[in-house]
Structure 1
């Protein structure tokens, strides 16, 4: 492989990394242009080194130079894992980690000389990131959300039935129901997990229950939201 071919492969790898990193950086994500460009360039270098750097041992039994490029995915996986962060009820960094991993794959393809595949895949990545970001509000409104209502109240007051009736009226599906009774305090603790597309009514319901005399505690626990 001559110098021009080498430069074009490495240049393409760095370019696709910069383009994808630009989208991430414009949306205020930690891994931006430099990170993605370096990952793609490094992946391309590993691929080229594996394909051309071991010419003397390529035909030796039990030696496979392609394994060098295969380890790129594992190595980038460690970097991506460090980008996934749990913040309260949210999990952040999943899309960025996947994008970084895919950027490594694009670098491998560029290093292997699959220029057309690299360009097409990059275009698909950009359409996915930008297009689905625009459509995200519409998709979120159609998907079901899951929350758990924790209620603690005095036993024998018939508190649970009105709660379940209210959930049914608002077309919220009960996914799970757990009841714990404390014989010493005569208090009952109920965990109701519900799913539905519109959960805004639950805030009104929980505020209403806080005004009931027999209710000691009400808490609304939202399950994990996934952010890129």
Structure 2
């Protein structure tokens, strides 16, 4: 019975550590957040407990040989497929690699806690949080600033200030923009290309929705 309480404590601790890592991802509006990391960590710990302790009742039987690491080893490849689902290829760029790596590392934390390696698991979780949050702040001054490009087409030459206001409201700074003119059957089409610097995580769906509320907007395209 005491051992079962210890197993429960391991699952709870794994869940807490996974949730801490997931909270950092959730705060940055990433594809896999608090719940996903919580489940990965708890699931990994549970699999490790099963792999290490679940077959003790048959080990004494003749002709029975077990590898206690065999089940736990499948977590590494299994979480790899899960992480692949968070990787998106959009507009000639790859997004989600950090989140995928975080899921993979979180599964390792769960395995460590499930095996009873509390100090290693806690230190691993702290190092993961360090890599996700602190290192970016330390090297922020030398890392290149991530930029986004937005192209908006409209038949009104008075839409630029309204578009800039919406972008600013969504924590985007317009570093520069260029206006091109194209003559069409419906009149003069204004193609406005913006270069944007995000203050925090960009929400493309919300920005698109806000821009669509403006009159005379023909197309909205993030590049």
User: What is aligned with 1:114?
Assistant: 117
Tell which deviates more after alignment, 38-47 or 3-12: 3-12
User: What is aligned with 1:42?
Assistant: 43
- 1:136 Cα deviation after fit: 5.0
Matches within 5 A, 1:184-199: none
CA RMSD of aligned residues (A): 2.7
User: Contact 2:59–2:65 at 8 Å: present in 1 too?
Assistant: no
Answer yes or no: is 1:70 the counterpart of 2:73.
yes
User: What is aligned with 1:7?
Assistant: 8
Answer yes or no: is 1:29 the counterpart of 2:33.
no
TM-score, scaled relative to structure 1: 0.59
- 1:4 Cα deviation after fit: 2.0
- 1:89 Cα deviation after fit: 2.2
User: What is aligned with 2:88?
Assistant: 85
Q: Deviations over 1:51-83 (max 9, x none)?
A: 111113446555212201011001100000111
Answer yes or no: is 1:133 the counterpart of 2:149.
no
TM-score, scaled relative to structure 2: 0.60
Matches within 5 A, 1:198-213: none
User: Contact 1:57–1:63 at 8 Å: present in 2 too?
Assistant: no
Q: How many residues are treated as equivalent by the alignment?
A: 147
SS at match of 1:4: helix
Q: Which runs of 5+ in 1 are unaligned?
A: 143-228
Distance, in Å, in 1 between the alignment partners of 2:143 and 2:93 is 15
- 1:115 Cα deviation after fit: 0.5
SS at match of 1:91: strand
Q: Deviations over 1:2-60 (max 9, x none)?
A: 23211110011101110000000000012111100000101011100011111134465
Q: Deviations over 1:106-129 (max 9, x none)?
A: 000000000011111111111111
User: Contact 1:58–1:65 at 8 Å: present in 2 too?
Assistant: no
